[in-house]
Amino acid sequence: MITPVIMAGGSGSRLWPLSRSLFPKQFLALNGKATMLQQTLQRLTGLTLERPVVICNEEHRFIVAEQLREINQSGTIILEPVGRNTAPAIALASKTVVESKDSLILILAADHVILNESAFIDAVEKAIPLAEAGKLVTFGIVPTEAHTGYGYIKRGESVNEHGFQVDAFVEKPNAKIASEYFEGKEHYWNSGMFLMKASRYLEELNQFRPDIYTACESALANTSKDEDFIRIDKGAFEKCPDESIDYAVMEKTSDAVVVPLDAGWSDIGSWSALWDVNNKDSNGNAVIGDSIMHETTNSLIQGSERLIATVGIDNLVIVDTKDALLVASKDKVQDVKKIVEQLKAEGRDEFKNHREVYRPWGKYDSIDNGTRYQVKRITVKPGEKLSIQMHHHRAEHWIVVSGTAKVTNGDKTFLVTENESTYIPIGVVHALENPGKLPLEIIEVQSGTYLGEDDIVRFEDRYGRV
């Protein structure tokens, strides 16, 4: 049996403005209708699997849970209080797996695209005997070009007809060396995907990096479980070294094996990579959304709601969201992260949140705002409830657009239906709930001296946010 271990951390800053720190690329549907996290699990159909283990940070926990629910998948969700790279994250998952059943663990990133899923499953099946024999298997991507943006794995002697000993892990090369690797056909792109026994990884980690092993053991010694969420000890985990599995284990062990993988793989590390994997028209344009083009070639055009019209452009990336527009040369998209760094340095919210923000109970869209007012469109999922709360600086007016709202307003609780409204004065304890079977949509008009999201005093919350 195999336990999928899905690494769902990361910010995906090179895919801004679509990817934001509170809703990064692994939770977006970039290449199809399902999100990248959902596709990662769905492509495992055909393998005999245990429940997956997903590792993410605290801020993304409800997004992960909801996206698993949407594909009728259940799993264990380990919440990292701080990021400490892949070696500790995999140690947390391995210890969780060993405690229940020492199965093979298939370690996958949640933000990869694999176009040929049958070839991927075939490679995993070929790797199973090696992993069961105690080898630490990594999957090396057969290069399609002399790429300088990936690390490489140099293969050594063959172990069997499907795998090779790892001779060396190589850092990202320059163009000349990358060309030599491509021509020599002995180097693979480092995919960051692995198959191994959970206990074998822990043995090797304890041998080569006992400091990481001990820190993770301490972090798991004091956990709290909330439904499928496992919260580890923050203080203990903060002391853990920040290290990748490659540096901590794979470069040191004598049991590292690489299995070649030729399956249309991409890590979607930039907008140009997304252009690569998308279908294109006769002019080389990948278009997502509503667009009219004239004399436009070799470009990626992605919109959300508005029409995008282009005239006389070539080799551009245009990405339009509700609150930000990106226009970049396709050759310079790696530098999008510089924009994100500037937004972060200036304290601007666009690096962190979309205008439309997802919450465990639903979502809200800030559709208008001014000096002393803000207007939101709020959607509450059936059966869900916002926290019982109060504001010091703002009053709120709720107008029901569709569905039925169960409203707590001070010491009264009552129903508000379509075209009805209620007013929440400053300082009054209140709550909003959807008791129905259909989504509830309301318009919320806030007014006051301060309208920040941190002006919320929570008294009770079913999602543990008090």
- Give 420-457 pLDDT, tens digit per residue: 999 999 999 999 999 999 999 999 999 999 998 889 99
CATH classification of the domain holding 393: 2.60.120.10
pLDDT of residue 238: 94
For residue 189, being part of any structural domain is answered with yes
Phi, psi of 212 (to 5 degrees): -70, -45
Largest CA distance in the chain: 76
Give yes or no: residues 53 and 87 share one domain. Answer: yes
Residue 248 CB partners (closer than 8 Å, separation 6+): 87, 205, 208, 209, 212
Alpha carbon distance 327, 316 (integer Å): 7
For residue 273, being part of any structural domain is answered with no
Task: Tell whether omega for the bond before 17 is within 30 degrees of 0, i.e. cis.
Answer: yes
pLDDT of residue 418: 96
Give yes or no: residues 229 and 176 share one domain. Answer: yes
Burial class of residue 175 in the structure, from the number of CB atoms within 10 Å of its CB (0-12 exposed, 13-18 middle, 19+ buried)? exposed
- Low-confidence stretches of the chain (pLDDT beneath 70): 465-466
Q: Render pLDDT for 93-150 as a digit per residue (tens, 0 to 9).
A: 999 998 877 789 999 999 999 999 999 999 999 999 999 999 999 999 999 999 998 9
For residue 349, being part of any structural domain is answered with no
Give yes or no: residues 247 and 104 share one domain. Answer: yes
Give yes or no: residues 251 and 337 share one domain. Answer: no
Give yes or no: residues 125 and 260 share one domain. Answer: yes
CATH classification of the domain holding 39: 3.90.550.10
For residue 347, being part of any structural domain is answered with no
Angle at 3 between CA 217 and CA 152, to 5 degrees: 85
Give yes or no: residues 69 and 212 share one domain. Answer: yes
C-alpha dihedral sign at 60, 61, 62, 65: positive
pLDDT of residue 101: 78
For residue 351, being part of any structural domain is answered with no
Give yes or no: residues 61 and 96 share one domain. Answer: yes
Give yes or no: residues 334 and 310 share one domain. Answer: yes
pLDDT of residue 386: 95
| Structural domain count, the chain | 3
User: Got the DSSP string for 105-147?
Assistant: EEEEETT-EES-HHHHHHHHHHHHHHHHTT-EEEEEEPPSS--
Q: Which domain holds residue 396?
A: 356-460
For residue 272, being part of any structural domain is answered with no
Give yes or no: residues 28 and 83 share one domain. Answer: yes
Alpha carbon distance 323, 306 (integer Å): 12
| Chosen domain end from 242, 266, 290 | 266
Give yes or no: residues 318 and 436 share one domain. Answer: no
Give yes or no: residues 6 and 79 share one domain. Answer: yes
pLDDT of residue 466: 62
Give yes or no: residues 380 and 426 share one domain. Answer: yes
For residue 346, being part of any structural domain is answered with no
For residue 175, being part of any structural domain is answered with yes
Contact by Cβ (8 Å): 433, 361:
no
Tokens of 170: 């190589």
